[in-house]
Each structure stands twice: as structure tokens, then as C-alpha cells.
Amino acid sequence: MQIQIFQDKESLHRAVAQMFIDAVKAKPNIVLGLATGSSPLETYENMIKDHQEKGTDYSGVVTFNLDEYIGLEGTHSQSYRYFMNTSLFNGLNIPLDQTNVPSGIGDVNEICKAYEEKITSVGGIDFQLLGIGTNGHIGFNEPGTSFDTRTHVTALTQETIEGNARFFESEDSVPKKAVTMGIQTIMDAKKIALIAYGSKKAAAIRDMVNGPITEMMPASILQNHSDTTLFLDEEAAALLKAR
Ligand code: F6R
């Protein structure tokens, strides 16, 4: 794993966005894996700004998001499809039918199978963006998830439900299940960038980098990935051993 530590969030997001912009320019039909949540938001803002000012072309890009809540329509303001449309896709020239977010409505087992097949059919994910949960989850692969999972249905932990409750009317209205790419799906991405900032993420970053590779710390498997870069601020990096 390569580690880049930034003094401020602005330069961190600029650096991640630039990595994606360069990748899109180098391969106009690139397959991107994307994340939701607070971590990538300003990265997406930078990508939109670059597209508007410099015209980086996304017309040939294909995207796959990590996850979606089960039970929320894509039009629901807390669905990840809605988040992606409003936070990124609507600001770029990417046709929406080239953007894939697993549906949380319908026969979810069939949806999982079809999602994996679609990723395979376009040749796999070239560049995957990740955040990390305070418990070390990537996607919605919570501690204890097998490292060999592919896209599947998962129950969210209480910690994740509480973490996401701020976006809903109450904790009760947070969906309890999600569809998520599996850990093996993520590991198959040719290149990975993971964003983490703030002291709340410091223990998870320490454990994923310096701890043992264990299914109890899902992100620790990234130690085995050949091309992963962590983009951290000083606070998230504060507990790392060798700095
Ligand atoms: C989002 C996702 C999650 C988040 C993680 C961190 O699609 O899969 O793993 O990346 O929960 O969330 P934030 O960025 O809100 O701290």
C-alpha cells in the first residue's frame, strides 16, 4: 500500500480528483468503481469543476458503485443512486445508462448476480474509489465478511446504522440491509484509492495498515492488493506506526 498524507482536506481531494481525471484522460472508456458517503464528496466536486472548466470527457466512461440500501427507490433522497446523480453524474457528461448502482428494489439475489456479470462483461473495474467505516468496513462489507465474497446482500451493523442515522429522520428509518460489492469484487479492481480523514478514522487506518490481515478488519485485505494508495489527512494518519 502506498500512503499519502495531506496537511489539509482541500489538497487531499484535489490529489484524488487529479488521479481520476488523469486516469479518464489516459483511458476514455475506463471502468470506474465509485463510493458514496462524505469521504468522496469534495473529490467529486473537484472532478465536476475540472469537467466544466477544462472539458475532461466522460462520455465513454462506465461506472459501478459499491453499494445501495435495500428498500430505497433510486429517487429516494437517501438512496445511493440519488446521491451519485446529484453529487457527480449530473455534473459530468456521462450518459446515465453507463452508470451502475445496484438496485435495492426487486429480486436482490438476482440483482447481485447480474451486477457481477455486468462488471465482468466490461472487463472488470480499472480504478476503484473507497472510503472506510470506523469499524474498517469497505463497501458495506462489515467485520466478519468473508474475503472471497462477491456482490451480495448484507445486514448493516448497529455501528453503521448509527453512523448513517444523521442522514435520516431517525435511526429507525435507516435501512437495515444493503446490496454491496463483495471484498473479492473490490480486490479484483486493478487500482484502488482509499480516502480517510478525521480522527474518527485513525484507529481503523492504524489497524488496516499495521494490524494483521483479518476478516474482522475488512480493509486489512488491501495490504495484499498490488496497487492501492491511501489518501489521508494528518488526523486519520495519527496512529500509524512508521510515518
Ligand atoms: C459508501 C461505502 C462505505 C463508506 C464508509 C465511509 O459507498 O461503501 O464503505 O465509504 O462508510 O463513509 P463516510 O465517507 O461517510 O465516512
> Picking from 93-107, 125-139, 168-182, which range would have the lowest pLDDT averaged per residue?
168-182
Tell me, yes or no, if 57 is annotated catalytic.
Answer: no
What pLDDT is recorded for position 182? 98
At 243 the pLDDT is: 58
Please give the residue that has the higher pLDDT: either 167 or 231.
231
Q: What is the mean pLDDT of the chain?
A: 96
Locate 170 and state its grid cell. 431517525
Catalytic pick among 46, 65, 100, 135: 135
Confidence at residue 170, expressed as pLDDT on a 0 to 100 scale: 87
| Ordered alpha helix ranges (H), 27-66 | 41-54
185 lines ligand 1 (CB under 6 A): no
β-strands 177-180, 67-69 pairing: antiparallel
pLDDT at 242 over 70: no
Q: List Cβ<8 Å contacts ≥24 apart for 120-124.
A: 122/31, 122/62, 123/31, 124/31, 124/188, 124/189, 124/190
**Rg of the chain in Å (alpha carbons):** 17
The reported pLDDT for the residue numbered 197 is 97
Is residue 142 annotated as part of the catalytic site, yes or no? yes
Calpha distance 46→40 (Å, rounded): 10
29-41 confidence digits (pLDDT tens): 999 999 999 999 9
Query: CB of 239 within 8 A of CB of 233?
Result: no
Cα(134) to centroid(ligand 1), Å = 9
Nearest to 216 by CA among 140, 148, 136, 160: 136
Known active-site residue 135: yes
pLDDT band at 222 (very low <50, low <70, confident <90, very high): very high
pLDDT of residue 195: 98
Ligand 1 contacts CB of residue 138 (under 6 A): yes
Residue 212 pLDDT:
98
Query: What is the predicted pLDDT for the residue at 160?
Result: 82
All three cell numbers of 225: 492488493
Q: What is the pLDDT of residues 66-112, one digit of tens each?
A: 999 999 999 999 999 999 999 999 999 999 999 999 999 999 999 99
Cell 466512461 locates to 61
pLDDT at 104: 95
Average pLDDT over residues 145-164: 92
Look at residues 129, 126, 145 and name the one whose alpha carbon lies nearest to residue 220: 145
Q: Whose C-alpha lies nearest to ligand 1, atom 12?
A: 37
